[in-house]
């Protein structure tokens, strides 16, 4: 019985989520496998945690604890405990480590990839479900662990095909940022709010420029739509100090370190941070990563809440044009830092930790634009056409398909309605099949099959205008003995392969 049309269910994707097709899935698999190889090479081992955690295990860093639904997807279990979908891979790892602390080797070096969920306003290229790929060293207090992760991040970028110079790993230290705050008189709990505002302003340097940041440090700033953002309310002298610090990056690491030493000599915490950066700088230098791959940059601000020491960010530096010809910068595709407090909130002992997270979904968009991913067409299966519909003939077609499969050739028999032969070739064409196999009663009597080269045929179709000629000439089609089917298809496939490589 036909329902009223208006009552029919509307097929629709939830806001901020996407379906992925074969090309994208293949590209993602390739990418994940490269990252995995890199992390493995550095001695990290895999681990998986579930999508759900109890909200309080994630909850310490929720923006607003009174509303577990703000920013995260949460639900109540049947025992009324709040659970949430993970919004990153670090908090779940901290829980896993705390829970299995006795049995894990220390330092514990692990990696994992997975989808994370954020219940917030989606935008173009920004979804409510996306993939991250993290590596973490837990139980290692020295900044050499941080330095190692920065170098691994750099290796990962290059193994993914991003050229040296098209990306940079920028490194800073939270203690240095804290030192600057001390110097301008913002130490102490009563200034926590202002410190946050200052850090947020600094974080926008790449987008708003020095002038914009200066406005945000002072009274505030109006955006293009006329909306006003309140500033930190610093005086000119303080604002200039912050800006001087942000622009302290010099030609060389040594110079940057010297600049920083001069700016925050009065702060003990700041000095400590500078020395940590100096140590990391030496390690990068010794390993040869100071050739533009890894850079000490005082303007990096990340993870305002839980980072306690070095912080780093992987940034793409090249520009591309979008479909409207406007320049688009991909910017940050990953980041991380030291989070000495995250595991220990479950424990009675300190557990110094550091880690890095790659934004897989975002990086994939960048790589696709660069042409490093998703370029190759996905080859379809060889399609065996159904000419005769009696059960014996079908069995013969099935046998051909099985022979091809046994030889490792992707193949299928047409499973649609075989009434119209043209539809079968249309289907094969749409699947991007390399060739179709045709055997009607005429061929069967001769002990032959027809192989139709669909790639070559497509090329020839440009030269034929008349439909009658097109149909009768049967372009790019040839007969072979039934026994030689597999060998001939193999031959055709390798010829096509060679053709692709030459173009």
Partner RNA sequence: GCAGACGUAGCUCAGUUGGUUAGAGCGUCGGAUUGUGGCUCCGAAGGUCGGUGGUUCGAAUCCACUCGUCUGUACCA
CB of 438 to RNA, least distance (A): 5
Residue in the block written with tokens 């940022």: 177
Sheet strands (E) in 401-457: 411-413, 435-438, 448-453
Looking at the Cβ atoms of 67 and 268, the one nearer to RNA is: 67
485 Rama sector, left if φ>0, alpha if ψ -120 to 50, beta otherwise: alpha
Looking at the Cβ atoms of 38 and 354, the one nearer to RNA is: 354
DSSP-derived 3-state class of residue 323: coil
CB of 195 to RNA, least distance (A): 12
Looking at the Cβ atoms of 323 and 501, the one nearer to RNA is: 323
Looking at the Cβ atoms of 298 and 303, the one nearer to RNA is: 303
Residue in the block written with tokens 């700041």: 270
Rounded Cα distance between 269 and 371, Å, is 45
Looking at the Cβ atoms of 119 and 279, the one nearer to RNA is: 119
Looking at the Cβ atoms of 85 and 263, the one nearer to RNA is: 85
Tell me the chain's radius of gyration from C-alpha atoms: 30
CB of 110 to RNA, least distance (A): 18
Please return the burial class of 329, using the count of CB atoms within 10 Å of its CB with bins 0-12, 13-18 and 19+. middle
From residue 186, alpha-carbon distances to 192, 198, 260 in Å are 8, 10, 18
Sheet strands (E) in 265-398: 294-296, 310-321, 327-338, 353-359, 382-384
CB of 84 to RNA, least distance (A): 9
Distance, C-alpha 9 to centroid of its chain = 34
Sign of the CA dihedral 177, 182, 185, 189?
positive
Looking at the Cβ atoms of 16 and 161, the one nearer to RNA is: 16
The pair of three-digit structure tokens given for residue 381, joined into one six-digit string: 């299966």
Residue pair 234/215 in contact by the 8 Å Cβ criterion: no
CB of 347 to RNA, least distance (A): 18
The pair of three-digit structure tokens given for residue 212, joined into one six-digit string: 């914009």
Looking at the Cβ atoms of 158 and 203, the one nearer to RNA is: 203
The pair of three-digit structure tokens given for residue 260, joined into one six-digit string: 């920083």
The partner residues of 195 in beta bridges, in order of sequence, read none
- 499 φ/ψ angles, rounded to the nearest 5 degrees: -60, -45
The pair of three-digit structure tokens given for residue 346, joined into one six-digit string: 């479950």
CB of 156 to RNA, least distance (A): 20
Rounded Cα distance between 359 and 342, Å, is 21
Rounded Cα distance between 153 and 142, Å, is 18
Torsion angle of C-alpha atoms 317, 321, 322, 323, degrees rounded to 10: -160
Q: Is the peptide bond before 290 cis (omega within 30 degrees of 0)?
A: no
Q: β-pairing, 45-46 with 82-85?
A: unpaired
CB of 240 to RNA, least distance (A): 20
CB of 23 to RNA, least distance (A): 18
What is the Cβ-side half-sphere exposure of residue 59, based on CA atoms within 13 angstroms?
17
Looking at the Cβ atoms of 99 and 322, the one nearer to RNA is: 322
CB of 103 to RNA, least distance (A): 26
Please return the burial class of 493, using the count of CB atoms within 10 Å of its CB with bins 0-12, 13-18 and 19+. middle
CB of 285 to RNA, least distance (A): 29
CB of 383 to RNA, least distance (A): 11
The pair of three-digit structure tokens given for residue 285, joined into one six-digit string: 């230098």
Looking at the Cβ atoms of 99 and 305, the one nearer to RNA is: 305
Looking at the Cβ atoms of 399 and 464, the one nearer to RNA is: 464
CB of 407 to RNA, least distance (A): 22
Looking at the Cβ atoms of 30 and 229, the one nearer to RNA is: 229
DSSP-derived 3-state class of residue 214: helix
Looking at the Cβ atoms of 61 and 271, the one nearer to RNA is: 61
Q: Is the peptide bond before 107 cis (omega within 30 degrees of 0)?
A: yes
CB of 196 to RNA, least distance (A): 7
């Amino acid at each position: 019985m036909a329902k009223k049309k208006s009552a029919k269910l509307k097929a629709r994707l939830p806001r901020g989520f996407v379906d992925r097709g074969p090309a994208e899935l293949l590209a993602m698999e390739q990418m994940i496998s490269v990252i995995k190889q890199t992390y493995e090479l550095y001695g990290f081992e895999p681990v998986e945690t579930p999508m759900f955690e109890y909200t309080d295990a994630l909850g310490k860093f929720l923006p607003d604890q009174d509303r577990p639904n703000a920013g995260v997807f949460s639900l109540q279990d049947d025992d009324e405990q709040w659970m949430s979908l993970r919004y990153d891979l670090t908090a779940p790892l901290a829980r896993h480590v705390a829970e299995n602390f006795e049995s894990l080797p220390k330092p514990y070096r692990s990696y994992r990839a997975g989808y994370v969920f954020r219940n917030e306003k989606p935008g173009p290229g920004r979804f409510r479900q996306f993939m991250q790929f993290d590596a973490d060293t837990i139980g290692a207090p020295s900044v050499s662990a941080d330095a190692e992760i920065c170098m691994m991040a750099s290796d990962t970028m290059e193994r993914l095909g991003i050229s040296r110079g098209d990306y940079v790993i920028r490194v800073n230290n939270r203690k240095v940022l804290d030192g600057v705050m001390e110097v301008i008189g913002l130490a102490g709990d009563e200034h926590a709010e202002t410190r946050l505002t200052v850090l947020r302003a600094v974080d926008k340097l790449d987008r708003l420029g020095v002038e914009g940041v200066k406005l945000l440090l002072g009274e505030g700033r109006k955006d293009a739509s006329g909306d006003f953002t309140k500033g930190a309310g610093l005086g000119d002298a303080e604002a200039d100090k912050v800006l001087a610090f942000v622009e302290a990056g010099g030609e060389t690491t040594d110079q940057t370190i010297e600049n920083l030493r001069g700016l925050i000599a009065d702060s003990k915490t700041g000095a400590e941070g500078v020395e940590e950066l100096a140590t990391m700088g030496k390690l990068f230098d010794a390993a040869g990563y100071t050739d533009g791959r890894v850079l000490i940059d005082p303007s990096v601000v990340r993870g305002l809440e839980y980072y306690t020491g070095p912080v780093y960010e992987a940034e793409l530096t090249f520009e591309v044009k979008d479909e409207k010809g406007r320049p688009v910068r991909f910017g940050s595709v990953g980041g991380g830092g030291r989070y000495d407090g995250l595991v220990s909130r479950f424990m009675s002992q300190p557990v110094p930790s550091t880690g890095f997270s790659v934004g897989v979904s975002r990086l994939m968009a960048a790589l696709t634009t660069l042409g490093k991913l998703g370029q190759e067409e996905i080859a379809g299966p060889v399609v065996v056409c159904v000419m005769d519909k009696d059960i014996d003939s079908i069995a013969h077609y099935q046998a051909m398909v099985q022979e091809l499969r046994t030889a490792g050739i992707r193949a299928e028999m047409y499973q649609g309605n075989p009434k119209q032969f043209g539809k079968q070739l249309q289907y094969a064409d749409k699947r991007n099949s390399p060739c179709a196999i045709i055997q009607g009663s005429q061929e069967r009597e001769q002990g032959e099959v027809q192989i139709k080269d669909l790639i070559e045929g497509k090329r020839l179709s440009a030269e034929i205008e008349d439909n009658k000629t097109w149909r009768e000439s049967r372009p790019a089609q040839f007969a072979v003995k039934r026994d030689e089917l597999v060998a001939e298809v193999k031959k055709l496939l390798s010829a096509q392969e060679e053709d692709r490589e030459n173009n």
